[in-house]
Amino acid sequence: MSPPLQPVVSELIELLSLERLEDNLFRGQSRDIGTKYVFGGQVLGQALSAAQATMEQPRDAHSLHAYFLRAGDIEHPIVYHVDRTRDGGTFSVRRVTAIQHGQVIFFCAASFQEHEDGGEHQLSMPEVPKPEDIEPAPAIPPEVLATLPTKVQRWLDRMGPFEFRHVYPRDELNPPKRPPFQQVWFRLAEKVGDAPELHRALLAYASDFHLLGTATFPHGISYYQPNVQMASLDHALWFHRPFRADDWLLYSIDSPSAQGSRGLARGLIYDRHGQLVASTAQEGLIRVTADKSSAHVPASK
């Protein structure tokens, strides 16, 4: 018998395992992880789980394109409606709408494909230290943590289900200006089952960490600063090759542009053997306010 999972890992697995209300209707719970609103990665992972649950052919998700329309309420569940838009010869498309308090807060389209052989190429993985050679980030001293807003304290003091090791760490509480690039190793904190659908939903959840934040690097700002507002506007995710979310993955991120209070970030995700397994892109709101009391920890970073 396998040992029980850590509570934060089992909670995340449960979070991505939706309650089926009807053939195309699902309900997902929400979790407060220290953000003011529902974490964007949670909605991404749950929406993908809902779409995958309606697939009757042996087809794997290869892309997901999503828009965040309204902030999600942490205190209430989210209902996901799946439209079985098309089942073709080798491809299927699902549209997922997330509803809370009678309003659409998010929608996405996900595409699935039967396995096919064809030509292959990929960009090489950046040369970076192995995750075992990078020290975990040190804990924030209690006296520093105590000076931060309560929500920020809970976010920073929480041991989440994913481990992160930054190749080039940045002090998010006192951020320097630097080029908009970063590489982050990450993995689920414990081994889980082999179902590829679960690992894709887990990667969708994790892909929302650190992505948009890369667009703040040249400006010397951070989402922990009280006058900085940040939130995801859209999110795209492509799955290229098989992977496990409980093995180390390298997230190589860059931000080619920021303008109009919006930042664009792109990411390539490699396994530890150098295989490119997924790609991401996201545009998000990055707004610096005059009133330092009006900002908040974002729903998605």
Per-residue three-class SS string for the chain: CCCCCCHHHHHHHHHHCCEEEECCEEEECCCCCCCCCCCHHHHHHHHHHHHHHCCCCCCEEEEEEEEECCCCCCCCCEEEEEEEEEECCCEEEEEEEEEECCEEEEEEEEEEECCCCCCCCCCCCCCCCCHHHCCCCCCCCHHHHCCCCHHHHHHHHCCCCEEEEECCCCCCCCCCCCCCEEEEEEEECCCCCCCHHHHHHHHHHHCCCCCHHHHHHHHCCCCCCCCEEEEECEEEEEECCCCCCCCCEEEEEEEEEEECCEEEEEEEEEECCCCEEEEEEEEEEEEECCCCCCCCCCCCC
For residues 225 and 253, which has the higher predicted lDDT (pLDDT)? 253
**Confidence category of residue 294, pLDDT binned at 50, 70, 90:** very low
From CA 14, how far away is CA 180, in angstroms rounded?
35
- Phi and psi angles of residue 33, each rounded to the nearest 5 degrees, phi first: -110, 15
- pLDDT band (50, 70, 90) for residue 38: very high
Nearest to 61 by CA among 112, 114, 95: 112
- pTM for this structure? 0.92
Would you give the distance in Å from CA 95 to the centre of its chain?
19
- Looking at residue 301, what is its pLDDT? 45
Q: What is the mean pLDDT of residues 181-207?
A: 97
pLDDT over 70 (residue 200): yes
Read off the pLDDT of residues 266-281 as tens digits, 9 standing for 90 and up.
999 999 999 999 999 9
Instruction: Give the least confident one: 126-130, 212-216, 219-223.
Output: 219-223
**What are 251's strand-pairing partners?**
184, 269
The tens digit of pLDDT for each residue in 161-188 reads: 999 999 999 988 889 999 999 999 999 9
Show which residues are catalytic.
208, 232, 282
Predicted confidence at residue 295, as pLDDT, reads 47
Alpha carbon distance 72, 70 (integer Å): 6
Mean per-residue pLDDT over the chain, rounded = 91
Least confident of 84-88, 173-177, 236-240, 242-246: 173-177
User: Yes or no: is domain 7-115+136-288 CATH 2.40.160.210?
Assistant: yes
Q: What is the mean pLDDT of residues 198-207?
A: 98
* pLDDT tens profile 5-30: 678 899 999 999 999 999 999 999 99
